[in-house]
Amino acid sequence: MSTVCNSSSESGLRPSGKIPGGPAAQGLYDPQFEHDACGVGFVAHVEGKRSHRILEMALEVTSAQYGIFRLLEGGGSRLVTKAVAGAGLGHPYTQTLAMDSPSISMWVVQNRQPVLISDLTEEPWSSIYFPLDANVRMQSELAVPLISASGRVLGVLNLESPYKNAFTDDDRILLQSFATQAVIAIQEVRLLDAVQEIPQLLLTRTRNEVLERLATLACDLLNAASSGIWLVGENGAGLVAGARDRSGNTFLSMKECSELRAFFTDEVNLVPRWRLPESLARGLFEDGSWNFIWLAPLSSLQDSKSWGWFAVFVLLEDASQGGEWEKKVMGMLAHFSGMAILYASHLEELRKTQEQRAVAEMFAAVGDLATNLLHQLNNKVGTIPVRVQGIQDKCADLLAEDRYLANNLVEIERSAMEAMMAVREHLIHLHPMQISLVNLKACVEMALESANLGPGIQVEETGLAELPQIPAAQQSLKLVFTNLLENAARAMGGKGKIMINGQLRDESVRVLVTDSGPGIPPEMHDRIFDLSYSSGQEAHAGKLGFGLWWVRALMMRLGGSIRVESDGKTGTTFILQFPKAGQ
């Protein structure tokens, strides 16, 4: 907080007991603007020293003593106080002014021209005058709009005096010239702040957090009603970030908007609202406080691939207000959005690579243990069938008389052989994989034969025959599908439908396994792949019981990935993604 102290007799004025101004001003003292330490002067500001300095210089160039500086926010829907100054101010009125509220400041914004008022007691000014302070009765005022080179109003500078005829035309011309320079300074400072902030965000925040901040910055820098970022995905263009209100709600109502694709080009483009179908315009942003939309494509920095677009909703008198400065700001924000997307994708690739390496190292270590374990089991359990056969040969007469003993020996031999077979079958997955080209449809068919699905499960296959062969280990891939199929059957209680769908993408091959069960709650989507996760279901004979952890680990070893989609109410889809041969 700074203080503008002046020895003028104006500082000796005291409150009259009544708040000057019309009814709109009654009871609107804002306590966030407090007295300075000396108790006689007053300056408050929200955006730091910059806002105060602008107002202070305006007072200096005109030799005025009282003033208030407001900037338009919320897409031009409100004037927000940034600084107020004057000697003897006790209760300044600094609350936000809505566009439809009667005030001289709003008159200046709406008429886009300065006003010099010699006597505030005269009409029409007396009825719309919004007082500066409860302690000081003002008699004259000079208000000038801050208008950018493109014609966009940024705010208002108000200078006031307790004397009539305190300002002249020379003061008006001088303040207008100063306002022009102030606009340039405000725009440059805002842009510089954004440029300094964004790199830090890229390094410390998630992709969506960065995009949310860029959407908010777009509204601040372009005085926009709202903004949003749509990224193109498999199901169209989805909203991933949007400017939000104080409650954290996005202003935008249309989450999927592929229709916007028809209106953007390879460069930043200003599109009038009338060019959009009304259903699209209202679906995007129901609020009518916009008539133009800035559209900037989000493209890869490495190739021509389009990721989506950045849209900013603005209120302009005509297209000429969309000047070069606004266009450059949109281009900059779109560029940083592309950087955030690219950086996030690189981090994700790095995370996957590190995860795959960790899994490979773990399996290599466990594989050595498994080899030693299998050797020890062979030495111990593998001798059981041999010893049983020896007993059967030497004690044939006794076993013929004692069927109980004979049957138990047969069961012991069978159990030992099954145990060794189960151990060999599962521990083989811990050894290095023998990668070869594998037919996915054949693997699915093998899994269906070995899976215990039951008669109440229907299985439907689509698109598998058209898929190319992929580099994989057939037995490991069979285990992946078997596990998913048996999990789906258990989730549906032994009765339902499983759909297996093959899809060929530009850079990958996908298999979707969908069931008609109760679904998996979204908050459980990551946990189900943990080694420690348990669904509470009983383990099945011959199974190690690691469940989806095995599936995920095997997919990572194959260079692929698995994720789950479910709303927790109507079915579950596991999406397996494999690299194409040669990648």
Give yes or no for a contact between 242 and 250, defined as CB atoms under 8 angstroms apart: yes
Specify whether 146 is located in the same domain as 210: no
In this prediction, residue 172 carries a pLDDT of: 92
Mean pLDDT of all residues in 271-284: 76
Which string of b and e fits 364-395 if b means at least 16 CB within 10 Å? Answer: eeebeebeeebeeeeeeebebbeebeebeeee
How long, in residues, is the chain? 583
Q: Could you tell me the CATH number of the domain that includes residue 284?
A: 3.30.450.40
- Chain-centroid distance of CA 340 in Å reads 11
Q: Is residue 2 assigned to a domain?
A: no
What confidence category does residue 541 fall into, taking pLDDT thresholds of 50, 70 and 90? very low
Specify whether 119 is located in the same domain as 46: yes
pLDDT exceeds cutoff 70 at 450: yes
Burial class (CB in 10 A: 0-12, 13-18, 19+), 10: middle
| Residue in 374, 455, 388, 453 with CA at minimum distance from that of residue 416 | 388
pLDDT exceeds cutoff 90 at 512: yes
Amino acid 175 reads L
Distances from the Cα of 4 to the Cα of 9, 113, 162, angstroms: 14, 28, 16
Domain boundary among 137, 165, 189: 189
Distances from the Cα of 311 to the Cα of 137, 232, 270, angstroms: 46, 14, 10
Give yes or no for a contact between 498 and 483, defined as CB atoms under 8 angstroms apart: no
Specify whether 286 is located in the same domain as 225: yes
Q: Is residue 380 assigned to a domain?
A: no
Rounded CA-CA distance 386/416 in Å is 10
Amino acid 418 reads E
Specify whether 211 is located in the same domain as 184: no
Phi, psi (5° rounding) for residue 376?
A: -65, -40
Specify whether 28 is located in the same domain as 133: yes
Q: Is residue 401 assigned to a domain?
A: no
pLDDT exceeds cutoff 50 at 511: yes
Q: What is the DSSP secondary-structure string of 507-556?
A: SEEEEEEEE-SS---GGGTTGGGSTT---SPPPPTT----THHHHHHHHH
pLDDT exceeds cutoff 70 at 367: no
- Give how many domains the chain has, as a whole number: 3
Put the strands of the sheet holding 226-233 in their side by side order.
236-242, 226-233, 306-314, 292-299, 269-272
Residue 25 tokens, joined: 């001003």
Q: Is residue 440 assigned to a domain?
A: yes
Rounded CA-CA distance 166/66 in Å is 11
Distances from the Cα of 97 to the Cα of 12, 109, 142, 304, angstroms: 29, 11, 18, 46
Scanning the structure block, which residue is given the tokens 């169209």?
236
Q: Is residue 113 assigned to a domain?
A: yes
| Residue in 438, 440, 444, 447 with CA at minimum distance from that of residue 482 | 447
Q: Is residue 402 assigned to a domain?
A: no
pTM: 0.58
pLDDT exceeds cutoff 80 at 215: yes
Specify whether 110 is located in the same domain as 61: yes
Question: Under 8 Å CB-to-CB from 420, ≥6 apart: which residues?
Answer: 377, 378, 381, 382
Q: Is residue 358 assigned to a domain?
A: no
Q: In what helix (H) or strand (E) does residue 220 lie, and over which residues does it extend?
A: helix 207-222
| Percent of the chain residues past pLDDT 90, beyond the cut | 16
Specify whether 133 is located in the same domain as 17: yes
Mean pLDDT of all residues in 4-20: 31
- Average pLDDT of the chain, as a whole number: 77
Domain boundary among 316, 344, 372: 344
Specify whether 164 is located in the same domain as 28: yes
In this prediction, residue 513 carries a pLDDT of: 93
- Chain-centroid distance of CA 313 in Å reads 19
pLDDT, tens digit (0-9, with 9 covering 90-100), for 554-577: 888 888 889 898 888 888 999 999
Question: Under 8 Å CB-to-CB from 28, ≥6 apart: which residues?
Answer: 93, 95
- Domain ranges, residue 442: 434-583
pLDDT exceeds cutoff 90 at 116: yes
Residue 64 tokens, joined: 């005025």
Q: Could you tell me the CATH number of the domain that includes residue 460?
A: 3.30.565.10
Most confident of the ranges 25-34, 37-46, 89-98, 172-181? 172-181
In this prediction, residue 28 carries a pLDDT of: 35
Residue 427 tokens, joined: 């521990």
In this prediction, residue 30 carries a pLDDT of: 39
Mean pLDDT of all residues in 443-449: 91
Residue 426 or residue 234, greater confidence: 426
What confidence category does residue 9 fall into, taking pLDDT thresholds of 50, 70 and 90? very low
pLDDT exceeds cutoff 60 at 39: no
| Residue in 293, 299, 284 with CA at minimum distance from that of residue 334 | 299
pLDDT, tens digit (0-9, with 9 covering 90-100), for 230-273: 787 655 566 777 765 544 555 555 555 666 666 667 788 888 88
Domain boundary among 344, 362, 378: 344
Mean pLDDT of all residues in 168-197: 87
Q: Is residue 53 assigned to a domain?
A: yes
Rounded CA-CA distance 49/53 in Å is 6
Mean pLDDT of all residues in 146-161: 86
Specify whether 46 is located in the same domain as 141: yes
Specify whether 106 is located in the same domain as 64: yes
In this prediction, residue 403 carries a pLDDT of: 84
Specify whether 215 is located in the same domain as 157: no
| Residue in 562, 563, 565 with CA at minimum distance from that of residue 573 | 565
Beta strands in 243-282 (DSSP E): 269-272
Specify whether 184 is located in the same domain as 216: no
Rounded CA-CA distance 563/548 in Å is 11
Lowest mean pLDDT among 33-47, 172-186, 320-334, 567-581: 33-47
Give yes or no for a contact between 264 and 274, defined as CB atoms under 8 angstroms apart: no
Residue 249 tokens, joined: 């709600």
pLDDT exceeds cutoff 80 at 498: yes
Phi, psi (5° rounding) for residue 404?
A: -60, -45
In this prediction, residue 164 carries a pLDDT of: 92
pLDDT exceeds cutoff 80 at 380: no
In this prediction, residue 15 carries a pLDDT of: 30
In this prediction, residue 236 carries a pLDDT of: 57
pLDDT exceeds cutoff 90 at 501: yes
pLDDT exceeds cutoff 60 at 141: yes
